[in-house]
Amino acid sequence: MKLTSKGRYAVMALVDLARFDNINPVSLRDISLRQGISLDYLEQIFSKLKKNQIVKSIRGKQGGYVLNKNPNDIKLTNIFHAVDEKVKTVQCKKESKKGCNGKATKCITHNLWDELEIHINTFFENKSLKDLLNNNKETRV
């Protein structure tokens, strides 16, 4: 299973945003400095998050980003979907007639990896930004 930096950074940035957006909109520069994520990379991630209505941007001198929903209503699955992240444990497509090893049949452990993928995705469907906020407290820089 592979979760790319795009998915991990999206979650990190949104937890950071959720901590501070009740004060003022949060700039990507602030998130970049606190989390050690490239500003350019954050801009790409937030473009996708905005397009998928997870965040909204506020213009102006005190502008930045705020969450578009309550942190409890934003599941990790929503975030991964917004940034085109897929959590998969096998390379093959479930609907494919071809097996995972390029042969006509699925590999001998295919069902095990399918079951693991279901557990992982269920875990992410049940975790919200609010859950992550409750586990971490930090003050604004």
CATH number of the domain enclosing 57 = 1.10.10.10
In a domain, 44, yes or no: yes
Q: Please write the tens of the pLDDT for every residue from 27-83.
A: 999 999 999 999 999 999 999 999 999 999 999 888 899 999 999 999 999 999 999
In a domain, 97, yes or no: no
Q: Determine the structural domain holding residue 40 and report its residue range.
A: 5-87+129-135
In a domain, 113, yes or no: no
In a domain, 15, yes or no: yes
What secondary structure does DSSP assign to the chain, as a single string? ----HHHHHHHHHHHHHHHHTTTS-B-HHHHHHHHT--HHHHHHHHHHHHHTTSEEEE-STT-EEEESS-GGG-BHHHHHHHTT----S-SS-TT-SS-TTSSSS--TTHHHHHHHHHHHHHHHHH-BHHHHHHH------
Q: Please write the tens of the pLDDT for every residue from 72-101.
A: 999 999 999 999 988 777 776 666 666 666
In a domain, 72, yes or no: yes
The total domain count for the chain is 1
